[in-house]
């Protein structure tokens, strides 16, 4: 994620927290522009990467559960026909 622009990182951060209030936007502007805080900026990609990894993992699990439910329903139908 080292090639992300500041705006990309801010966008993904707001996606991670699920909202963007005026106060949070002002805080991000302060961190990135008015009083640039490289230490805090360096931590954001790590947080975003962990969040995005967890979202992908949850999506895989949900997909697997749905697939298993479909397979079970198919097997149940086959058993009820016989």
What is the tens place of the pLDDT at every residue in 6-38?
Answer: 999 999 999 999 999 999 999 999 999 999 999
CB atoms closer than 10 angstroms to residue 78: 9
Residues 16, 37: Cα–Cα separation, whole Å: 20
Residues 37, 32: Cα–Cα separation, whole Å: 7
Mean pLDDT of 56-70: 98
Mean pLDDT of 53-74: 98
Give the position of tokens 């640039």: 36
């Amino acid at each position: 994620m080292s090639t992300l622009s500041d705006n990309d990182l801010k966008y993904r951060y707001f996606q991670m927290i699920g909202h963007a209030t005026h106060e949070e936007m002002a805080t991000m502007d302060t961190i990135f522009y008015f009083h640039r805080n490289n230490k805090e900026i360096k931590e954001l990609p790590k947080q975003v990467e962990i969040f995005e990894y967890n979202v992908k993992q949850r999506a895989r699990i949900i997909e697997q559960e749905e697939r298993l439910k479909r397979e079970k329903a198919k097997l149940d139908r086959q058993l009820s026909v016989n």
